[in-house]
Structure 1
Amino acid sequence: MAYNRPWQSFREQLELLKSRGMVVTDEAAALDCLARMGYYRLSAYWYPFRQFELVQNSKTGKISTKAMDALHPDTQFVDAVRLYLFDKQLRLYLADALERIEISLRVDLSYLLGKRSSFAHVENTKAHFHPGFANRPFRKGSQQSCFDAWLVKYRGLVARSKEDFVRHYHDNHGDELPIWVAVEVLDFGAISQLFSMLNVKDQLAIANRYGVNDWQVFKSWIFSLSYLRNLVAHHSRLWNRNITSKPKLPKRGEIPWCDSFIGNEDTRFKPFLLLAITRMLVKAICPNTQWHNRLAEHLNQFPEQNSSKKLDLNGMGITQDWREWW
């Protein structure tokens, strides 16, 4: 289909919102927000205030919901802006925590593998990696193995690195970086890939350090946190989104707080579970941290709305008992 929506000035964008029922109490401030944040980015935060209608597919007869242009009564422009600012601060808190986790995992991988070989990360041997993990197809139908895909990604990260330490090492020691240097160019995705190829005993050894007794659970957590890291790094909406990477959960009773999520599929696809995982790993890394308390305080300050449609933390999959174990 041809795209037929025209360019609109900030004033025209604001008038469009007003025509759809948006209450604007300070037009100058609203125009400033549109100019700084952008209509499309902010639209994700007034989307929950839109009215929905039931529609029936004429071919299949299936009933679904469709978002209408009209907003719920009394929805104010500031309602969306406050949600945007809440989400922004949430991402900033997570950026801090995920940095700690990423750096800690770099140390774990370099210390464990480096003890066996300075260049273990580029040596696909049974001593370092599980053949069934490292040699399986990277994607369904692909001829490329997981290890080969990892190596391509790693080589690309090294080639694109502008870090002085990489240039210094190449100038003084050669082309191949030892693992304790190499981990410093890895992003969270590359860390997750490397971890997923380790022998089970090594995955379990690292998982145990963070209080997790199931290596498959921990592997899925690291993969999910790499997804979360991408959302945070690209300033994507977080608070009420459906996550595409569903983490595994341990057996009931193994990690008490996880029991709140077991059997509750609604929370498994929401970001609060990722926040809870982040909390556990950060506390394992820094036992005296107050990060989780700062985040809880932020969650408790979820913005109130003027709109007749009231939103709350349920949109992010929060559990009713979260304050008891957080």
Structure 2
Amino acid sequence: MKYPKSWKNHSDQLDLLMERGLIVTDRVRALDYLERIGYYRLSGYWFAFRERSQPACLLEKYGHKPKKVRVDRIALDNFLPHSTFQNAVDLYVFDKQLRLLVLDALERIEIALRAEVAHKLGELDPFAYLKPELFYKGFSVELNKKTGVTEHHEWLSKHARLIGRSKEEFIRHNRYKYGLPLPIWVASEVWDFGALSTLFSGMHEADQDAIATRYGVSNGRVFATWLRSLNYLRNVCAHHSRLWNRNIVDQPQLPSAEDLEWLAPFVSNEHKRARCFLLLKIAKHVLAVVNPRSSWPQRVQEHLMAFPDLSHLGLNLESMGAPVNWVESWQK
């Protein structure tokens, strides 16, 4: 299939945006942003400024049969009145700083939970991560119909790659002095958040519960989905992707609001469960155990209060899934 769009230089890109109604007050500065950040990355931020169509039904082909698909609102090429290039840049900078704050919290959470999982499993066996019997059968015995191997086998393959490519001196020392395999309290130091969350999801329920309870979550299976969602959040931030109004694909399960009162605004609201404010709250909740004296909650609150003034475009923190009374909700 021939790609229909032609290459455009930065000046032509800016002219196209202006033709579509985006206000540019400083052409030189706008061109500088296009050169340094890129049209496509910035387009994720001015996408929210584009006009929308009325709800409609479209015919799309699924196999050989056309099927009606309802589309609520389609983004049009033209921008809403009073949309400016600087609005998009301000939103981009806000989002960048938000991602850096999130990574700060997730680093502490990842390190703390790696230590907890390694300590819990290490009590059972120094090489527990190699022992299928120490994990539930759906993880360690049942074969994936697509791959033909267990999830545990796939995890071990990833673990071996992490060990193999590690340049850490402590890995070299342990391999030279004691050989392989490495005990779990050493091996866990090379796990990334994905390896951590996957192994936790495969643990026996009693072992999951023992760790989750420390974080105020009685159900370890629910806590496993929290870790998976935080790993998703970490990947979004680490790859410099747009976060502020992103639809969260890997959503966490939620315990009852009776167990955790602050969950009440999210339990029955699909939009709020699909936005990042919920994951910020989960990170805050976990961090309160990991590092109760951390200034992170206050720093995040201050940053959210500095959200760009985009009220003329109908945009605010509700696009992130924040409740109307978000400050009160954040402090719970």
* RMSD between aligned residues: 1.6
Q: Secondary structure at the match of 1:5?
A: coil
- Greater RCO (CA < 8 Å, at least 6 residues apart): 1
Residue of structure 1 equivalent to 2:324: 320
Question: CA shift at 1:56, angstroms?
Answer: 3.7
Q: Secondary structure at the match of 1:75?
A: coil
Kindly, what percent of the aligned residue pairs are identical?
45
Amino acid at match of 1:108: E
Q: Determine the C-alpha separation between the residues in 2 that align with 1:211 and 1:175.
A: 37
Question: CA shift at 1:260, angstroms?
Answer: 1.8
**Is the 2:201–2:221 Cα contact (8 Å) retained in structure 1?**
no
Q: Determine the C-alpha separation between the residues in 1 that align with 2:68 and 2:261.
A: 44
**Is the 1:211–1:284 Cα contact (8 Å) retained in structure 2?**
no
Amino acid at match of 1:320: V
Distance 1:252 1:164, change over 3 A: same
Residue of structure 2 equivalent to 1:103: 111
Q: Residue 80 in 1 paired to residue 88 in 2?
A: yes
Q: Residue 181 in 1 paired to residue 186 in 2?
A: yes
Consecutive unaligned residues in structure 1, runs of 5 or more = none
**Is the 2:323–2:329 Cα contact (8 Å) retained in structure 1?**
no
Q: Residue 275 in 1 paired to residue 276 in 2?
A: no
Q: Secondary structure at the match of 2:256?
A: coil
Residue of structure 1 equivalent to 2:139: 133
Q: Secondary structure at the match of 2:52?
A: strand
Question: CA shift at 1:61, angstroms?
Answer: 5.4
Q: Residue 156 in 1 paired to residue 161 in 2?
A: yes
Amino acid at match of 1:106: R
Residue of structure 2 equivalent to 1:191: 196
**Is the 1:72–1:308 Cα contact (8 Å) retained in structure 2?**
no
Scaled by the length of structure 2, what TM-score is found?
0.93
Q: Determine the C-alpha separation between the residues in 1 that align with 2:57 and 2:5.
A: 26
Amino acid at match of 2:25: T
Q: Determine the C-alpha separation between the residues in 2 that align with 1:136 and 1:219.
A: 19
Question: CA shift at 1:131, angstroms?
Answer: 2.3
Q: Secondary structure at the match of 1:227?
A: helix
Residue of structure 1 equivalent to 2:177: 172
Question: CA shift at 1:225, angstroms?
Answer: 0.6
Question: CA shift at 1:259, angstroms?
Answer: 1.6
**Is the 1:51–1:70 Cα contact (8 Å) retained in structure 2?**
yes
Question: CA shift at 1:60, angstroms?
Answer: 4.9
Q: Residue 50 in 1 paired to residue 54 in 2?
A: no
Q: Determine the C-alpha separation between the residues in 2 that align with 1:61 and 1:100.
A: 47
Residue of structure 2 equivalent to 1:33: 33
Deviations 1:199-243 (A, max 9, x none): 111100110111111112111101111111110110110000101
Q: Determine the C-alpha separation between the residues in 2 that align with 1:299 and 1:308.
A: 18
Scaled by the length of structure 1, what TM-score is found?
0.94
Consecutive unaligned residues in structure 2, runs of 5 or more = 60-65
